[in-house]
């Protein structure tokens, strides 16, 4: 009878540990997905801000923003 109780106890512990491991894995995966989504939204907001700044530049301003110089004839060098 003792052997059956020991085996039942061991099986219970293994089932409990397996369940808690699976739950922890799922919570970690959900947390990682959420962090990735938040980072994607942040990157899109930064990109939109950059696009707004660049959209308002003329050719000479864009040339300077990219590190170039505007020559006398208006060419970006």
pLDDT tens-digit series, residues 41-65? 999 999 999 888 888 898 888 898 8
pLDDT tens-digit series, residues 21-30? 999 999 999 9
Q: Please give the model's pTM, rounded to 2 decimal places.
A: 0.53
**CA pair distance 47, 40, nearest whole angstrom:** 10
Residue 33 token pair: 């997905």
Q: How confident is the model at residue 76 (pLDDT cuts 50, 70, 90)?
A: confident
Contact 68, 77 (CB under 8 A): yes
Name 77's Cβ contacts closer than 8 Å, sequence gap at least 6.
Answer: 68, 69, 70, 71
**CA pair distance 63, 75, nearest whole angstrom:** 9
Burial group, residue 62, by CB count within 10 angstroms (0-12, 13-18, 19+): middle
């Amino acid at each position: 009878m003792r052997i059956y109780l020991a085996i039942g106890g061991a099986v219970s512990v293994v089932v409990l540990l397996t369940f808690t491991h699976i739950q922890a894995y799922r919570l970690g995966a959900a947390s990682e997905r959420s962090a990735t989504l938040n980072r994607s939204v942040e990157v899109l907001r930064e990109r939109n801000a950059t696009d707004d700044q660049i959209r308002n530049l003329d050719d000479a301003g864009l040339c300077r923003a990219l590190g170039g110089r505007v020559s006398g004839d208006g060419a970006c060098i």
